[in-house]
Structure 1
Amino acid sequence: MFLAWNEIMKNKLRFTLIVGVLMLVAYLVFFLSGLANGLASLNREAVDKWDADAIVLTEESDQSLTQSSFDIDLVGDIDAEESAVLGQLNAIAQTGDQKANVSIFGIDSGEFIMPEVTEGTAFTSSNEVVAGDSLKDDGFRLGDTLSLSSTKETLEIVGFTDEARFNAAPVLYTDLETFERVKFGEEAAGNDSQISGIAVRTADPSSVTNEEELAVIETETFIESLPGYTEQSLTLNFMIYFLFVISSVIVAIFLYVLTVQKISMFGVMKAQGIPSGYLARSVIAQTAILATIGVAVGLGLALLTGAFLPSAVPVSFDILTMLIYGVVLIVVAILGAVFSVLTIVKIDPLKAIGG
C-alpha cells in the first residue's frame, strides 16, 4: 500500500487522468441507473401503490388493462382476501392552455386502491377526480375543470395524491359511474357496468377464479407487460453493463502502458529481492485506490446533478443500487489490472536492467 500511494503522490497528473476517466464512467453509470429507475417509476407508480398481489383481466386482453373489459358481476366469482374493481382509459385532459395525457381510473372509494389524498379532498360526487400530483408541474390546480378528448363530459379536480402515474401518464381517480359516462357516454346509464380489471390481495393467485374468460396475472408480470417497459429497462441496463466492460478495458490499457514504462524499475526492484507478489499487490492496491476515488467523485456528481434537474427529467436515484454498481465498478477495475500483474510476474530482472 505504501508503494502504491507513494507512486500516486509522485505522479499526480498521470494518475489524475486515470481517476478522471473512471469518474466519468462512474458518473454515466450512476446517471443511467437513476434514469432507468425514474423511467420505471413513471410506468408503475400507481400499480406499486395498490400493493396488490395480482390483477384479474380478460383472457383475450393479452395482459393489457386497456384492452380488458368485462361485466362487473364477475366480481362475485373472485375468491381473494381483498379485491378492488378498476376501470381504465386513456385520454387528453385540458384546462385553459394546459393540456396533458392522463390515465383515468374508475374505482370504488371503499376499496383498497382508493388513494390517500395529500391535498384537497376525496371525490364524493359525480365528475369529481383525485389527480396525481405530477399534474401540478403541468400547471393544473385544485378546482380546475377538465375537458376531455372524445367526450363532452367535464371533470373537476377536488384533490391530489402522490405516486400516481401509470404507463408514464398521471392518473385521475374517479367513481365508476363517472368513468362509465366518460368511456361510453350517456348511453351507458342503465346498462350493466363494465370494468377493466380487478386488483386482488391473496396468498394464492392461482385460486382466485375459475372463470375461463378471466386470467389472473401476478403484479410484477403485469407491470413487465406494460408497453415498452421491459424493452426500456433492458436497453438501459445493457448500456450500464457495457460500461462495466469499458471501465475494465480502460483501466487495463492505462495500467499496462504504465507498467511497460516501468519495466526497468520493476526489474531493479526484483533484482534487489523484492518479490513479485509484493509488486503485484501494490498494483492491485493502486488500482483500488484510484477506482475508489473515481467512483466516489462520480457518485457525488451524479447526486448533485440530480438535485438540480427539473422535475420533467425522470431521474430517481436508488442509493442501494448505486452502491452496488460502485462496488462492481471497483471490482472490474481491479480485474482490469490483472494484465499488468501478469506482466510484472514475467519480468526477468537481468533482461529488464539490460544484463
Structure 2
Amino acid sequence: MKYAFKEILFYKKKYFLVEGLVILMIFMVMFLSGLTNGLGQAVSSGIEQLDTQYFIINEDAEGIIPYSTLTEAQQADILDLDLSDTEELNIQRSTLTLQGEKDKLEVTYFVLGNESTLLPKLTTGKSFSSKSNGIVLDESFKADGIEVGDKVKDKNDETSFVVTGFTKGYMYGHSSVGFISQASYSSLVKVSNPNYSFSPQVIMSKDKSLKTATISKAEIKTKSEIINKIPGYSAEQSTLHMILWVLVVASVAILAVFFYIITLEKRQQFGVLKAIGMPMSAIASQQISQVFLLSLIGVIFGDLLSLAMASILPVKMPFYLQWQNMGIISLVFVVVTVLSSLVSIHRVSRIDPVEIINGGEE
C-alpha cells in the first residue's frame, strides 16, 4: 500500500487525470441513483410516510386506492373485527389556484379525520383542523409562492381552502399532497354531486390480526403492495434501476481499460522488478492496492460532490440521496473496480523479464 501511494504521488499528473475520471464516473452513478430515488419518492412518499401497515381495499380496485370505495356492509365487517386501531383515507387528484393568480397547481388530496393519528408532522403552521376549510400542503408549494394563511381555490371554482401549515416529503403519483378533513372533502364533492355522503376508499390499521382476516369482496394489502400498485411506479423504478446498474458496469469497464493501458505503459518496470526477484504476489498486491486507493478516493470525492449538488437543487426537482443506497453503490463500485484490475494483473503475470531486458516489445 505504501509503495502504491508513493507511485501515485510521483506520477501525480497522470493519476490526477485517472482520479478525475473515477470521480466523474461515480458522480454520474450517484446522480442517477438520486434521480431514481427522487422519482420513486415523488410517486410513493405520501403512502410510505403514513404510520400504518395494512390497507383494507375493495377487491375491484385492484390495489389502487383512488379506484376503491368501501361499502357500508364492508365497513360493518371491518367494525366486527374489533381492530386495535383504524384510520380512513380517501385520495383525490385536483388542481389549486392561489388567490389572485391564474396558474393551476396540481395537488393530490389526502382526506383524513380531524383527530387522525396519521396527521403529518408540520414544519410550519397548524393542523387543518384549526379551520373548517383548512389545508396542510407539502413544502414544495412554497416554491409557487404559497404561504401560511393564503387562500387557494379548487378547480371547481366554488371551494376555497386556507393554508394552515406545511409538511415535508409527501407526494403521490408525481403530485404534491394536500391534507384536508372529511368535512372539507364532502363539501368539495357535493359541488358536483349534491347527494354525496362520505365513504372511505380504504381503511388502514397496524393490527397484525389482519394477516389472517377475511372481508367479503375486499382485500387486505400491505403498504409495499399498495405502493407497487400506484400506476407507473413499478415500471418506472425497474427501468431506472436497470439503467443505474448498467451505468455502474459501463463505468467500471471504462476504468478497467484505463488501468490496463497504464499497466502496458509500465511493462519495462514490471519486467525489471521480476528480474531482481520480486514475486508476482507482491506485484499483484501493489497493483490492487493502487487501484483500491484510486477508486476509494474517487468514490469519497464523488459522493461529496453528489451531496453538495443535492443541497442546491430546486425543491421541485425529484432528487433524493439515501445513505443506505449510497453506501451500497459505493461499496459495489470499489469492489468491482478492484476486480476489474485483475485483467491487468493477468497481463503482468505474462511479462517475460528476459524479453524486457533485451528490449523486446510485443
Q: Which moved more, 1:167-176 or 1:121-130?
A: 121-130
1:194 counterpart = 2:194: no
Is 1:49–2:53 an aligned residue pair? no
Q: Residue 22 of structure 1 corresponds to which residue in structure 2?
A: 22
| Superposition pairs of residues 150-165 of structure 1, within 5 angstroms | 150=156, 152-165=158-171
The whole-number CA distance in structure 2 between the counterparts of 1:170 and 1:178 is 18
1:213-232 matched pairs, under 5 angstroms: 214-232=218-236
Aligned to 1:131: 137
Task: Determine helix, strand or coil for the equivalent of 1:333.
Answer: helix
Q: Which residue of 1 aligns with 2:245?
A: 241
Cα separation, 1, equivalents of 2:255 and 2:151: 58
2:219 is the alignment partner of 1:210? no
Residues 168 and 323 of structure 1: CA distance in aligned 2, closer, same or farther (over 3 Å)? same
C-alpha spacing 1:129/1:262, structure 2 compared with 1 (3 Å): closer
Whether the 8 Å CA contact 1:89–1:183 is kept in 2: the answer is no
Q: 1:36 to 1:266 in 2, by over 3 A?
A: same
Residue in 2 that maps onto 1:284: 288
> 1:105 pairs with 85, 106, 110, which one?
110
- The SS at the match of 1:241 is helix
* Aligned equivalent of 1:93, options 93, 96, 106: 96
Cα-to-partner distance string for 1:18-66 (whole Å, 9 max, x where unaligned) = 1111110111111222222222222222222222112121111121111
Distance 2:241 2:192 in 1: 47
Comparing 165-174 with 271-280, greater Cα deviation is found at 165-174
Equivalent residue, structure 2, for 1:293: 297
DSSP 3-state at the match of 1:56: strand
The answer to whether the Cα contact below 8 Å between 1:53 and 1:205 also exists between their aligned partners in 2 is no
Q: Could you say if the C-alpha distance between residues 71 and 146 of structure 1 is closer, same or farther in structure 2, counting changes exceeding 3 Å?
A: farther
Paired positions, count: 353
**Residue 292 to residue 118, structure 1, CA distance change in 2 (3 Å):** closer
Amino acid at match of 2:90: G
Q: Report SS of the residue matched to 1:85.
A: strand
Q: Identify if the C-alpha distance between structure 1 residues 276 and 92 changes in structure 2 by more than 3 Å, giving closer, same or farther.
A: same
- Is the 8 Å Cα contact of residues 77 and 209 (structure 1) preserved in structure 2? no
CA distance in 1, matches of 2:2, 2:181: 70
| Residues 330, 343 of structure 1: alpha-carbon distance in 2 compared, 3 angstrom cutoff | same
CA–CA distance in structure 1, aligned partners of residues 216 and 157 of structure 2: 33
- SS for the counterpart of 2:65 is coil
Query: Identity percentage over the alignment?
Result: 26
The answer as to 2:176 corresponding to 1:170 is yes
> Would the alpha carbon gap of residues 244 and 279 (structure 1) be closer, same or farther in structure 2, given more than 3 Å must change?
same
Please tell me the residue identity of whatever aligns with 1:185. V
Q: CA deviation at 1:107?
A: 1.8
Instruction: Compute the TM-score of the two structures, normalised by the length of structure 1.
Output: 0.92
Matched, 1:115 2:125: no
Residue 37 of structure 1 corresponds to which residue in structure 2?
37
Unaligned runs of 5+ in 2: none
**TM-score, scaled relative to structure 2:** 0.90
Contact 2:63 / 2:226 at 8 angstroms: preserved in 1? yes
Identify if the C-alpha distance between structure 1 residues 123 and 4 changes in structure 2 by more than 3 Å, giving closer, same or farther.
Answer: closer
Aligned partner of 1:84 in structure 2 is 87
Report the Cα distance in structure 2 between the residues aligned to 1:240 and 1:316, rounded to whole angstroms: 15
C-alpha contact (below 8 Å) 1:117/1:161 kept by paired residues? yes
Counterpart residue type for residue 33 of structure 1? S
| Structure 1 range deviating more: 69-78 or 330-339 | 69-78
Q: CA deviation at 1:288?
A: 0.6
Mapped partners of 2:306, 2:179: distance in 1 = 35
Greater Cα shift, 91-100 or 116-125: 116-125
1:66 aligns to what SS in structure 2? helix
In structure 2, the residue matched to 1:60 is 60
